[in-house]
Amino acid sequence: MRYPLATLFAALISASLAHAATPGQTACSQIQGSLGQGKVANPNLLNFQYQQSKNGYWNTRLNANNPACAVYPSSASDVSTSLKAIKAAGSRFAIKAGGHNPNANFSSTNNGVLLDMSKMTDKSYDPAKGTCTYQPGNKFGDLYEFYEQFGVTITGARLSGVGSGLGLGGGLSYLSGEYGLSVDGFQSLEVVLPSGEIVTASKTSYPDLFFAMRGGGGNAYGVVTSYTVTARKVGKFHSGLLVYALNETNRVLEAVHDFTRYNTNPKANLIATWEKIPLPDLNINLDEIFILFAVYDGEDPGNSYKNFTDIPHILDTRQVRSYVSTTRDLATPFATDISKGSNTFRVSVHAIDDDTYKQAYDQWRAWAQRPEIKSKYMLTSLDFQPVLRSLTDASKSQGGNAMDMPDGPWFWLNYLLTTPPTLSASDYNEIQESFKEMVNVVPAAKNLPLFINDAAYDQNPLPTFSTYQRLKSIKAKYDPDGFFSSKTGGWAFP
């Protein structure tokens, strides 16, 4: 049989392209064949859906990655099908929920398959069981608004624009003093294992997996496709910001320390953040401010914040608000979308009974004042995040989590660095190395766990957990051939 020349030429091109396909392209083609074209977006400048997935990161440097395709699963079955195709092709991949993690390859990928969970937004409330169930495509603000109609909420992010994946790393909430971390409220998780098997993990079903996923490294063990968590009764809050000038540094630091050490009211919570921008040094103290996020679960905080209100301040926005308003309004102008930029985190942890927390502040401020550093950043901040005794007690009363948190009180410190998008690669690498060295000058407490949600990619908090060896064995059990370890980013078990 004779074939037209054009037919033969087309067949040769097709064979050549198939031979040259990357593992990511091969996986994408297989997934599209299984799930249908509507659930896969291929690279194209005119494809809005693909561009939105590729570029929707809080750390905008991650937008430079070019996934082989973006996949939009709508069920655990879709995720399973996708993982099997990815594994068969030997492709890299990433799981993206809200895109808030600033670490490269944790929720982003270059030339691999990006599983964008944004279409999985189902949510429900079961009043008989007192539980809330939701899929990973929801942002916490969406969840707070939905559950408010039932008079309940969940322990989740303090910023409404953060994605639900934050909970897998622990998850600090304005309700943590009462209820512990986000992971402490987990009742069950629908998980797609690296093998593609779909299981439900709880205290009675796959209990080892459930333990590991309560703060032990998130998608190191599988992909969560549904969360069922404890519903928390919610009413009105007294919440707002107290803003201080630079000359009140020592008094504010002492007040934060004393609140962390002595506060016994679990309804009173706070974050203290020192924000610095690189203005010229004119000795007029306009380049740095202290902002206290004061959130009280109830309409009357009494004297819970008296140590702070006694200090002269330049602004006090505290008033009675809903929880939805608290997580939305207090974030402005620090809201997730507004604050997108070249953002990176580092984390440290400090005991309450020494002055290392003061040393950490002094080191950070001195570093941020250096002329060669000021020329390379747009914003840097230092957040004091109290871990109250009531928080650790609440965690233990619900079975604890993968961190096996020592009794409070102590501090988690979160360092933020935002650099200009025009910064050269050499300058960027230089300031990042300097940033790392500055944080390490004051060593973290050896007997306290680092906080996964705020950790840089090279800090790997897992070895600071007393449960590390147990987590390592669970990881080996559910990912025996190292599929997730080698083909997606996240916390490692060397």
What pLDDT score was predicted for residue 14? 43
- Determine the Cα–Cα distance for residues 494 and 106; give it in Å rounded to an integer: 17
Task: Report the amino acid identity of residue 331.
Answer: A
DSSP string computed for 146-172: HHHTTTEE-S--SSTTSBGGGGGG---
CATH 3.30.43.10 placement within the chain: 23-116
User: Looking at the domain 23-116, which fold is it?
Assistant: 3.30.43
360-388 per-position pLDDT tens digit:
999 999 999 999 999 999 999 999 999 99
Residue ranges of the chain whose pLDDT lies below 70? 1-19, 280-286, 331-338
Question: pTM of this prediction?
Answer: 0.92
CB atoms within 10 A of CB 404: 15
Positive or negative torsion for Cα 433, 434, 435, 436: positive
Maximum CA extent, the chain: 94
Name the 3-class secondary structure at 348.
strand
What pLDDT score was predicted for residue 16? 43
CA distances from 207 to 186, 238, 305 (A): 12, 38, 40
CATH code of the domain made up of 123-233+467-479: 3.30.465.10
What pLDDT score was predicted for residue 332? 52
What pLDDT score was predicted for residue 301? 98
Question: Do the beta carbons of residue 387 and residue 410 sit within 8 Å?
Answer: yes
User: Looking at the domain 236-463, which fold is it?
Assistant: Vanillyl-alcohol Oxidase; Chain A, domain 3 (3.40.462)
SS (H, E, C) 80-124: HHHHHHHHHHCCCEEEECCCCCCCCCCCCCCCCEEEEHHHCCCEE
DSSP string computed for 9-55: HHHHHHHHHHHH--HHHHHHHHHHHHH-GGGEE---TT-HHHHHHHH
Pairing, β 315-316 against β 342-351? unpaired
User: Residue 76's closest CA among 35, 126, 129, 17?
Assistant: 35
The number of CA neighbours under 13 Å toward the Cβ of 13 is: 6
- Determine the Cα–Cα distance for residues 72 and 56; give it in Å rounded to an integer: 14
What pLDDT score was predicted for residue 335? 52
